[in-house]
Each structure stands twice: as C-alpha cells, then as structure tokens.
Chains A and B, each alone.
Chain A
C-alpha cells in the first residue's frame, strides 16, 4: 500500500471516529456572556482597562525620561559602562554552577546587575532533589534595572526574549562534546538567564503561568550556562529531559503567541 493511500485511510477513520457533536452554542454563551460582559455597571471596565494602559505607558515613558535625565546629570562625563561576562563556578555542596554577569565600569562603581548567590533548591519547588537552581539576591542595581523591565518587560520585549530563548534551546547540540565546547551557547544562556531574573522580578513575573514558565527557563538556562567545560555527559541529557518533561518549548511558543496577542 502506498503511503498516500495509508494516510488517506487514517484520515478517514479519524474523521469519522471523532466527529464533533453539534456545538451547544446557547449553553456556552450563557457561561461566556456574564464573564465577558458582566453586569451593565461593570461594562466600562474595557475603557478603564484601556485608560489604565494609557496611564501606565505614559508613566513608563516619563520614568524613562526622568531616569535617563538623572543618569546624565549624576554620572561623571565620559563614563563608559560595559558588561563583561565572566564565569564563576560555584562548587559548594555540589550545586549548580552559574555564569554570572559581571559589570565593569571605567569611572563608576558597579552600575547594574543581578547577583547570583550560592545555589540552593528553591523552597516549594516541584523539581527533583538533585536539581538546584540559582537563588536570586536583589541588589540596588538589579532592582533599578528590574524597575525598568517593569515598564518595558511586556508585549514585544517579552516576545523578543521568548523568541531568543526558544531559538537557543532549539539549537542546543545533541552531542555533549559539541555543547561543552560551544562557548557562544553558554554565553548566550548567561545573558538570557540575567533577563529571566529581571523578568521574574518585573510586572511580567506576576502572571502565574508566565512566572512558572520563567522559573523553568531559569533552571534550564542555568544548566545550559554551566555546560561550558563540563565533562559530564549526563548534564546535556538532563537539559533535554527537563525541556521534555516540563513541555518547555511548547509553553515558550504559547507564551510568544500570547505576547503577540497582547502586543
């Protein structure tokens, strides 16, 4: 039997075996209408929602302008700040080593950053006992940067972050030796890990579904970041396992679509 014939037989069998019933339109509408439209009095919520966003956007823009203005005023002239990635493996108690972004400044002390302390299992985490995630410690610089993300960490920014993360995870080599020697992957994972922390602390992290996804991404990205130089072949296997078990990539895809809807 040809492939096309077999495909057609499968299609026909499935089409007839799982024929959808007539949609109970009225019953469903009876549930939808009060939730979508509520009482007549609550109807202006849509407009309130719109105006809330308008106010929030204006506030964000104003905060950004003031922030930039203050930055120019406070910072000494010709100050150049740049970010250098450095690796600091954490070796205590066999926990996960995480690449930390180190911030260097020519004339000013450390400007912004997220400090990653020694790693411990997250309290209440559903992950296995042998898997640890980096514990975030807030520092003033990080808080400032997080505050900026609070204003911009939505819509297209979130979509961009998710797309970059999905691209990185989808391009992970299946061969451990290749993954361990690919410094670009680890560096990119460290960058994205930093963004993940900022997003977790931002308004975007308040959404429970997104928060769970960001926590899972935090774990996976931390594992990817420590792949560089790793000799343990099980590390890569653990990453692929975590991606599969937690449906990470499909959830990232959903969140990307969701971000595009919101956008």
Chain B
C-alpha cells in the first residue's frame, strides 16, 4: 500500500491503517526521543504525543515533505517542548542533583569520564545538541536533518561541526588523559 493510500485510509478512520503508519515510524521516533531525553518514560510520552498530534493534523499534511520527515518534525518539536518544561521544573532541584553527585564520587574513573561526557552533551545549546544527536548518534543525513528542522543543509553541517568543536573544548582535559 502506498503512503498516500495509507493516509487516505487513516483519514477515513481505519485504525488498522493507523497502526500500520505508527508501526512504520514509531521505532525511529522513539529512538530519537530517547537519545534526546535520555529518559525512557519521557521518550515514551513524547512518542505518544507525536503520534496523537500527527493523527490530529494528518488532514493538513500537504505531502510537500515525506510523511517520515513531517512526523519527525512533530517529534523534534514535542521532545524540545518536553525538555524545556522539564528543565524549568528541575531547575528547582539542582541541589538534589549536586547532592547525588557527591554521593557517587567513589565510582570508577571510567564511569566518571562517561558522566562528564554525557553532561557535556547535555549542556550543549539545543540547536547544536539536536543536530549532533540526529547525525552522529541516529545516523540521519544532513539532508534529512535539514528537512526535519526546516533549515538549510549547510546549516545542519555547521551545527554538527560546532557541536563537535564545543565538545572538544569542554572535554579538552579528558583528551589529554
């Protein structure tokens, strides 16, 4: 069944077609959401939110982009919204995080390095972090990232390069080790 036929059937209320569309795209959306949130529960919520929104807006899908690109646009938007909400909320609990860091001081050197690496990625500005995760961790092409984020392909390349440069700067100490 072609994508257009599938969409027509979903719009006609065919739940099986809806499930087929979901099965096609949900695994990749979930993977991306998980990479960006590092939280299974949040990734699950974002994926659900993405498909609820996608089904609600499917009638307005003009097929100027592919369905996959369109769904991923919604997904990135949903994830970034969720992350911003969580960041505002968790800003009040920084003290608790710091306390946890103190408690885990005894963990292995390797784990500590990994934690620093993950923190460095988490602290990247949102636009760089999103492009880096999509390209370096999830294997999206620059063309696909450009479509999803509605930016030029060159901008995607620049953002990934900037993200890597920022990580190199932040982790310069690790590099010497």
Partners in one complex: yes
Does any Cβ of A come within 8 Å of B109's Cβ? no
Instruction: Name the interface residues of A112-146: CB closer than 8 Å to any CB of B.
Output: none
Of the four ranges (under 10, 10 to 19, 20 to 34, 35 or more), the interface on chain B belongs to 35 or more
Residues B26 and A25 in contact, CB atoms below 8 Å apart: yes
- A257 in contact with B77 (CB, 8 Å): yes
Residues of B within 8 A of A18 (CB): 34-35, 38, 118, 137
- Whether A21 and B13, one on each chain, are in contact in the complex, defined by CB atoms closer than 8 angstroms, is no
| Partner-binding segment picked from A1-9, A66-74, A103-111 | A1-9
Closest to B71 in A: A261
Q: How far is the CA of A140 from the CA of B44 in the complex (A)?
A: 48
> Contact between B114 and A17 (Cβ–Cβ < 8 Å)?
yes
On whether A262 and B47 interact (CB within 8 A), knowing A18-B118, A21-B34, A33-B15, the answer reads: no
Interface of A is mostly: helix
Q: Does B137 contact A46, Cβ atoms closer than 8 Å?
A: no
**A13 on the B face (CB < 8 A):** yes
Chain B residues with Cβ under 8 A from A49's Cβ?
A: 59
Enumerate A36-56 residues with CB–CB distance to B below 8 Å: 36-37, 40, 43-44, 46, 49-50
Residues of A within 8 A of B73 (CB): 257, 260-261
Closest chain B CB from A126 CB (angstroms)? 10
The answer to whether B59 touches A50 (Cβ under 8 A) is yes
> Is the beta-carbon distance between A32 and B171 smaller than 8 angstroms?
no
Is residue A173 within 8 Å, beta carbon to beta carbon, of the partner chain? no
**In chain B, residues 66-120, which have Cβ atoms closer than 8 Å to a Cβ of chain A?**
70, 73-74, 76-77, 80-81, 84, 114, 117-118
Q: Which residues of A contact B51 (CB under 8 A)?
A: 28, 32, 36
A24 within 8 A of B: yes
How distant is A35 from chain B, measured CB to nearest CB, in Å?
5
Residue A157, interface by CB 8 Å = no
Shortest B116–chain A CB gap in Å is: 11
Q: Which residues of A contact B11 (CB under 8 A)?
A: 46
Q: Is B126 an interface residue (CB 8 A)?
A: yes
Interface residue B146 (Cβ < 8 Å from any Cβ of A):
no
State whether A11 touches B13 (Cβ < 8 A). no
CB neighbours of A247 from chain B (8 A)? 84, 126
Is A234 close to B, CB under 8 A? no
Top 3 A-B pairs, shortest CB-CB distance: A36-B55, A23-B30, A20-B34
| Additional pairs, 17, CB under 8 Å, beyond known A25-B22, A36-B51 | A1-B175, A3-B164, A3-B168, A17-B114, A18-B118, A20-B34, A25-B26, A28-B30, A28-B48, A29-B19, A29-B26, A31-B48, A35-B52, A36-B52, A43-B13, A50-B59, A253-B150
List the interface of chain A (C-beta within 8 A of B): 1, 3, 6-7, 10-11, 13-15, 17-18, 20-21, 23-25, 27-29, 31-33, 35-37, 40, 43-44, 46, 49-50, 209, 247, 250-251, 253-254, 256-258, 260-263
9 intermolecular pairs with C-beta atoms under 8 Å apart: A13-B114, A17-B114, A23-B27, A23-B30, A28-B30, A46-B58, A46-B59, A257-B76, A257-B150
